[in-house]
Structure 1
Amino acid sequence: MSTRARPAATQLTTAPPSAVGHRFPYTHRSAGQARTALRHQLQVWHINGELADSAELLLSELVTNAVQAQASAGPEVGVRFVWADGCLRLEVRDASDELPVMKDAKEDEECGRGLALVDALASGWGVDRDGTGKTVWAELAVCDASAPRPAPAPLSP
């Protein structure tokens, strides 16, 4: 090796971020756009199966509620996905200060079951208020069967 030669650079690998945020306009399409963003992020984190399905349903309900509550309060709904300590947290932020209310929907009613679904599927959920709105969050604890699995290591020769 000549004195001017340098060793090959080591390729650094970075772990995917543990939190990702997005903003969507307040339209009827926002829930679908948020689900698409979540699906992409869950693939990055190698999360699939029942946990991914439940997360999509929860996010859809939370975004739909935010869009309905926010109709005139602001231009965007914010979503944030956090993966930490074996827990997937979904947060949906809107500018409305109106708290979500769990309703007792009748059999023939088309609406009113969203928070009941959130309550049934999430390991925990709640609302954090601030001076300009609120964040409704839901958490899904990971059990062994749905835990993300690291990519398999390459086989050595």
Structure 2
Amino acid sequence: MPTPHPSPAALPQDIEFRFPRHARSVGRARALLREQATSGKLPDEVTETAVLLLSELMTNAYRHAKVPPGREIRARCVLNDDGCLRVSVSDASDTLPTPREASLEDEAGRGLALVAALADDWGAAPRPGGIGKTVWFELKSGSEAPAGK
């Protein structure tokens, strides 16, 4: 007898993934978020925006977190009952991110501006215990544009 598939309501609404601090982890995080968003029946536009913004935060964590080898990056996705998706990325660096303005010639430096422009809300804070930081964003399911934009 085949194993029954769980209903979307039975799928995890709060899940955390741990990744090595490596470029390949960015793609793996995107795939896992897309899988969770699909199982949570999020609208495609919310899913695509969330995947893009997670990619930016994961890339920042693996490129800029100057920490000893072996430290992990954690990505957490929480889908609230009201359909709000909160995605956070934690690393072992204590340095909080600082948005900057990139010139037309710059090949990098636009990630946090993208997060600020597309997310309904976002922020960064030191992790409890004083080791590392967490950068997060929220997207509201079904909103046409971010609040206050």
The two structures share one fold, judged by TM-score above 0.5: yes
Residue of structure 1 in register with 2:57 after alignment? 62
Bigger Cα Rg: 1
Give me the TM-score of the superposition, normalised by structure 1: 0.79
Structure 2 counterparts to residues 17-56 of structure 1, below 5 A:
17-56=12-51
- Check the 8 A contact 2:67/2:92 in 1, yes or no: no
Unpaired segments ≥5 residues, structure 1: 1-11, 146-157
Superposition pairs for residues 1-157 of structure 1, below 5 Å? 15-73=10-68, 75-84=71-80, 85-130=82-127, 131-143=130-142
Q: How many correspondences in the alignment?
A: 134
Q: Deviations over 1:25-61 (max 9, x none)?
A: 1011111110011111112111241101100000000
Unmatched segments (≥5 aa) in structure 2: 1-5, 145-149
- Runs of 4+ in structure 1 off by over 3 angstroms are none
Report the Cα distance in structure 1 between the residues aligned to 2:39 and 2:22, rounded to whole angstroms.
Answer: 27
* 1:38 partner SS: helix
What is the alpha-carbon root mean square deviation over aligned residues? 1.7
The Cα of 1:144 is off from its aligned counterpart by: 6.2
Q: CA deviation at 1:93?
A: 0.3
